[in-house]
Structure 1
């Protein structure tokens, strides 16, 4: 029985490892609900430079990062650039309150299963904030990029 459990664990580990995001990988096609209760498909963002920003309302470094991302987004939103915030909050009310308090103007999605959510496992999220930058072709070009690195990508 122990061998069967070990084998199943190994198979699961290998399948999860193949799903992890790596530089050069493609923007995954998934759907999540936004803060207006509308289902959003990330495939609609193809053709734009996209920053996927994982955060949560209870994460102090995330909230500090939001203060920097908002003016950066407002300055660059007309440059074929989008930010998609994906919250790992398990409490939607706290998440929505944080969006309002931080005045986040860009798309906000939630996967309410926290770190156990499919999208968090897909991106192998172990800490917050975590960000992934995809170029206009949908290729992952940077993990946790600085605003300067994003700017360089936008000016290519």
Structure 2
């Protein structure tokens, strides 16, 4: 899946980097970034490009802020439109897009999030997006914390719990709508690329793919959008990177809160599956899981459910309804669940078969060959 920017970190590392003097004379084909960066006198300011296909930023110009107001002027040959970063060494930075050749930035090292950018419509768009995101995200996290508190054992109050869950879902829907509206309406392809990178953690996969396709239809030659499509193709065949490798250690709490480590099951075949009570595809997979357990119950095989639910009661009720004879674990962190990070997957349901030594022998086994595939390994 595509990378995502943390605007607070990345942006802080971008817009604070422009220097007071440039090492070369600019030309008509240069990107020129100028302005002031107060409260940073003596600091080194740098301008960097964030290439679409590279993991590291590339510093293209730098200078020292030598006067009292921190004036700077940096430049680099104008290349394809992409995301740039302006940052101060060992300090904050800011992100912008080179949609125009001349950009002016006014910032304060003490309050970098309040920077002002002029001359670049696309940069202003992503700044507005991030400011809205930060506010909406904070409201969702507050509502989520209230919902978790209302759902603790011994403290359930049905009316309060229902109200807090509804409020949490309303806030999350607002977060999703923010991204959907921005990506649908934003005319600049690089700004869409930036927003898609932020949004993939929050939008359902099908909706994210639809937004990407719509953006590509408008801008079929944009290299960033093309890269997201390439990564999407790779993500649609998940888990192959795990084959014939040691499975990452996973430790999550069970329904009683007791931590259970995957390594504690060493010596047994483990059929681990990542699922969620709210996901219909996951729930359908329970049928083949039950059939497989019934067919192989005499074998040295244990089933391990790794849920990415966010609501404890939904998770517990789904376990009861599905009746899969499995060890069930979840950190109840939804798409922030560490199991997704540890396995490096972005879609559910997902399954993997682990041998008694901890090596992954099969991934994402289709329902149509599930029992036969597992049987071929677990003899």
TM-score by length of structure 1 reads 0.83
Q: How does 1:113-124 map to 2 (within 5 A)?
A: 113-124=333-344
Report the CA distance between 1:130 and its aligned residue: 0.3
Report the CA distance between 1:74 and its aligned residue: 3.4
Give the aligned partner of residue 71 of structure 1: 291
- Deviation larger for 144-153 or 51-60: 144-153
Find the aligned partners of 2:49 and 2:312 in 1 and give their Cα distance. 36
Find the aligned partners of 2:267 and 2:311 in 1 and give their Cα distance. 33
> Do the aligned partners of 1:132 and 1:140 also contact (CA within 8 Å) in 2?
yes
> Do the aligned partners of 1:21 and 1:122 also contact (CA within 8 Å) in 2?
no
Candidates 356, 363, 367, aligned match of 1:143: 363
Structure-2 change in CA distance of 1:95 and 1:5 (3 Å): farther
Give the aligned partner of residue 56 of structure 1: 276
Matched, 1:29 2:253: no
Secondary structure, in 3 states, of the residue corresponding to 2:55?
Answer: helix
Matched, 1:84 2:300: no
Secondary structure, in 3 states, of the residue corresponding to 1:71?
Answer: helix
Secondary structure, in 3 states, of the residue corresponding to 1:43?
Answer: helix
Secondary structure, in 3 states, of the residue corresponding to 1:58?
Answer: coil
Give the aligned partner of residue 87 of structure 2: none
TM-score by length of structure 2 reads 0.36
- Structure with more contact order per residue of length (Cα contacts < 8 Å, sep ≥ 6): 1
Report the CA distance between 1:104 and its aligned residue: 2.3
Gaps of 5+ in 2: 1-12, 15-46, 57-239
Give the aligned partner of residue 17 of structure 1: none
Report the CA distance between 1:44 and its aligned residue: 1.1
Gaps of 5+ in 1: 12-19
Structure-2 change in CA distance of 1:124 and 1:5 (3 Å): farther
Secondary structure, in 3 states, of the residue corresponding to 1:108?
Answer: strand
> Do the aligned partners of 2:248 and 2:343 also contact (CA within 8 Å) in 1?
no
Report the CA distance between 1:21 and its aligned residue: 4.9
- Larger Rg belongs to: 2
Find the aligned partners of 1:138 and 1:76 in 2 and give their Cα distance. 20
Secondary structure, in 3 states, of the residue corresponding to 1:126?
Answer: coil
Q: How many pairs are equivalent?
A: 146
Report the CA distance between 1:106 and its aligned residue: 1.0
Report the CA distance between 1:45 and its aligned residue: 0.9
Secondary structure, in 3 states, of the residue corresponding to 1:69?
Answer: helix
Candidates 114, 123, 128, aligned match of 2:348: 128
Matched, 1:153 2:373: no
Report the CA distance between 1:6 and its aligned residue: 4.5
